[in-house]
Every structure is written in C-alpha cells, then in structure tokens.
Amino acid sequence: MIAGVGAALLALLLIIFLVVPKMGAVTEAQEELDDTRAEQQTLSVQLNALEQAQAEAPENEATIRRVDSQVPPTADLSGAILFLRNAANVAGVQVMSLTPAAPTPATTGNYSSISVSASGEGSYFALVKYLHEVETLPRAATVESIDLNPSEGLTLSFAATITLYTSDVSSGPGSEPGPTTSVVAGA
C-alpha cells in the first residue's frame, strides 16, 4: 500500500513538473498560431488590395495624365478668357463680361483656383450648350453657380460663376509668374 501511495505521489509529481509546463507551452503555441493566422488574413487582404491597385494602375495613370493636361502650370488668364469666349461663340451665347478674380491657392492639394464672373444672354438651349462647352473645355473648369432671368422674347440673361484651375500654387497678387516646382522634404 505504501508502494502504491508512493507510485501515485511520484505520478502526481511527474504530472506537475513535466505535463503542466508542456500544457502552458501548448497554450502559448496555440495563441501564437491564432495570431499568425490573423496576421496571414490581414496580409492576404492587403495583397488583394495591392493586386487590384496594380491591375487598375494603367487606368488610374491615364486619368492622372488627363487631369494634369487639363490643369495648366500657369494661370494664363488671357488664354482662359479666350477659351470661355470661344465656348460662347460655339454655343451662340452673347457674353457681356468675363471678369476673372485673382487666383487663390487651395487649402488642400497643389493647385490654385480662379473664379471668373460671367454674364451674357442667349436662348435656353444656347445657354445649356454654353454650360456644356465650359465644362468640357480643354482646361479644367466647373460652373459653380448660374442665375437665369427672362430678357426680351425667348432670350435669357445669365450671371454665372465659373472656376478654372492651375497647378501654379504661387498664383495670385505678388507671385512670381510661371510654374511652381514642388519641394520634396528631405531631398
């Protein structure tokens, strides 16, 4: 009986000193395996996103080139006015005035915007065509607002605010003419 108690005690000591530490190691290994699986899933999602970005890169680069070609490196107000007048001529709208404001650097991004006040008159369909012509100019432009009022017969008078863009962030009063070059930190 003492031998049986001694064997049981020996078995208990072996369990305490050999098996319990291994169980802790197994728990740690399981936690590490779970962490590794979670990391693998995260990396898999990132890989899929990168592969999608790589597949879409040519299309995105073409869009960037198109936008860059529509945003000139200088304000070129005389060229902008010429574009707007030509758009009016194509649409059959009589423009009374085109008054550009000083270029204003954007609060976000590397560009400046130029607000142009435009007024004139034309038929409804001519004005619709003019708005289309403005928004499809070779130079990036948006019609921010337009007020229409009846004039003589079927003619409408309009007052519009049109925004043009330039990548010259130094545009405006007191700036140096010409394109702006970006300064890269640490270069």
pLDDT at 67 over 70: yes
Structure tokens at 48: 């899929």
Q: What percent of the chain has pLDDT over 90?
A: 35
Please state the φ and ψ torsions of residue 7, each to the nearest 5 degrees: -65, -40
**Together in a domain, 81 and 133:** yes
Looking at residue 183, its pLDDT comes to 43
Structural domain contains residue 98: yes
**Together in a domain, 99 and 142:** yes
**Together in a domain, 162 and 85:** yes
- Domain boundary residue, one of 14, 35, 70: 70
Looking at residue 187, its pLDDT comes to 41
**Any idea which residue has 């995105």 for tokens?**
60
**Together in a domain, 55 and 81:** no
- Domain boundary residue, one of 70, 96, 130: 70
Domain count, the chain: 2
**CATH code of residue 119:** 3.30.70.60
> What DSSP letter does each residue of 64-81 carry, written as one string?
HHHHHHHS-SS--HHHHH
Looking at residue 44, its pLDDT comes to 92
**Together in a domain, 34 and 56:** yes
Structural domain contains residue 23: yes
Structural domain contains residue 131: yes
Structural domain contains residue 179: no
pLDDT tens digits, one per residue of 120-170: 999 999 999 999 999 898 888 889 999 999 988 889 999 999 999 888 776
CA distance 184 to 181: 10
**Together in a domain, 39 and 90:** no
CA distance 113 to 94: 25
pLDDT, mean of residues 22-41: 84
Q: Where are the alpha helices (DSSP H) in 75-187?
A: 77-91, 124-135
CA distance 167 to 113: 9
3-state SS, residue 175: coil
- Domain boundary residue, one of 70, 105, 131: 70
Structural domain contains residue 155: yes
Q: Name the more confident of 20 and 116.
A: 116
**Any idea which residue has 């034309």 for tokens?**
122
pLDDT at 181 over 70: no
**Together in a domain, 100 and 161:** yes
**Together in a domain, 57 and 91:** no
**Together in a domain, 15 and 82:** no
Beta strands 94-100 and 104-105, pairing class: unpaired
Neighbours of 140 (CB within 10 A): 19
pLDDT at 184 over 60: no
**Together in a domain, 146 and 85:** yes
In terms of residue numbers, what domain contains 161?
A: 77-166
